[in-house]
Structure 1
Amino acid sequence: MVTRMGLYGVMGAPIRDAQRVLVAGTSGSGKSTLCRRLHERLELPYVELDSLYHGPHWSELPTFESDVERLITADRWVLEWQYDRVRERLLERCDLLIWLDYPAHVVMWRVVVRTIRRELSQEMLWNGNTEPPLWTVMTNPEHIIRWAWRTHRGYPRRIRRILEERPRLRLVWLRSPRECDALLDRLR
């Protein structure tokens, strides 16, 4: 069942009864922010997957997959749909997928502003890490800004594949931050 906000209106019921929710979207789309807000409104347990993945000095934590496995065996949760190594397992357990399908200019604005804010403030992220210097966007092909740009176009194909493989999976398709806010307003 696909619920597209602009076409069908905000559907609160499919979200209210969901117990295992995944939030999909490219970097900068607001996955973690939406997860936190759903955690607050629906009282679903939430752990940011980045905190399980990134160790000191941006190393990958060896416990990442086992930590994710432990989380998704629980009856209730909300998580970001990211990290290819665990995406399929996350999908197997979820009962609702929310797709943040925002235009590229919205996502890029958000990821650039967030990156600059984090770098300037030296905001502590996960396990002692801070945002790399902005100039590394020119030298590091995996820089978050380049990553967001490169991966943005691939999501529609991924979502289509998921719906073909899992026709019973409930999907809420949000095309703008305004649609996301409307959905959250309905959950108050």
Structure 2
Amino acid sequence: MRKVMIIGCPGSGKTTLARKLSCKLNLPLVHLDVLNWRDHWQPVSTEEFDALLLQEVRKEAWIIDGNYHRTIPLRLEQCDTVIYLDYSRMTCLLGVIKRVLKGYGKSRPDMGGNCPERFDFSFFKFVWDFNKNNRKNYLEMLSHQKDKTVIIFHNRRECSEFLRKL
């Protein structure tokens, strides 16, 4: 595991897993949200994001967390390991609600710029519908990755056990 891509529904714990893996494996950590967001939830241009991401994936080692569907093919091409947090919608929704309640009005360190946590019901709906809209495509895409290590966790317990055994 030298180039690890972590994907999954918002609230599944991608960033938490990425931090823990980064420490255990001594690999640099890249949050796609840091590349994408500037103050007050303003995204960078597509061209700037793509240039920043390309710069990161060309490095010899990394852990990158985040979905950003449009860029999954590039990251898949460059990674050696994919971890998919395939958790239930309720687990993820509760994860997002907990994150908002804990950090309301504050910006997380894994976000670019000043993007304070807020209640955003359209985002909650996005999380609720994430598996319905993405799971099939993710599993199909991952089933074709013959030269990659693909790890799929179905719950937090499986993920915790994996980290404990590393």
Judged with a 3 Å threshold, the aligned counterparts in structure 2 of structure 1 residues 81 and 167 are, in CA distance, closer, same or farther, namely farther
Q: CA deviation at 1:58?
A: 0.9
1:171 match:
150
* Residue among 146, 157, 163 paired with 2:125: 146
- 1:104 partnered with 2:89: yes
Q: Supply the RMSD in Å over aligned alpha carbons.
A: 1.6
1:159 match:
138
Which runs of 5 or more structure 2 residues have no equivalent in the other structure?
Answer: none
Q: How many residues align?
A: 161
Deviations 1:119-154 (A, max 9, x none): 2xx22233012123x2x41xxx3x2x2221121223
C-alpha separation in 2, matches of 1:86 and 1:60: 15
Give the conservation status (yes or no) of the 8 Å contact 2:80–2:147: no
Give the conservation status (yes or no) of the 8 Å contact 2:12–2:85: yes
2:72 match:
87
Q: CA deviation at 1:165?
A: 3.5
Deviations 1:3-43 (A, max 9, x none): xxxxxxxxxxxxxxx11111111000000110111000001
Which runs of 5 or more structure 1 residues have no equivalent in the other structure?
Answer: 1-17
* Structure in which a larger fraction of residues adopt strand: 2
Judged with a 3 Å threshold, the aligned counterparts in structure 2 of structure 1 residues 170 and 156 are, in CA distance, closer, same or farther, namely same
Segment of structure 1 superposing worse, 70-79 or 163-172:
163-172
Give the conservation status (yes or no) of the 8 Å contact 2:106–2:117: yes
Larger Rg: 1
1:6 match:
none
| Aligned partner letter, 2:132 | R
1:131 match:
117
**What is the TM-score with the length of structure 1 in the denominator?**
0.79
Deviations 1:57-84 (A, max 9, x none): 2111132111110000011101114112
1:34 match:
17
C-alpha separation in 2, matches of 1:101 and 1:47: 21
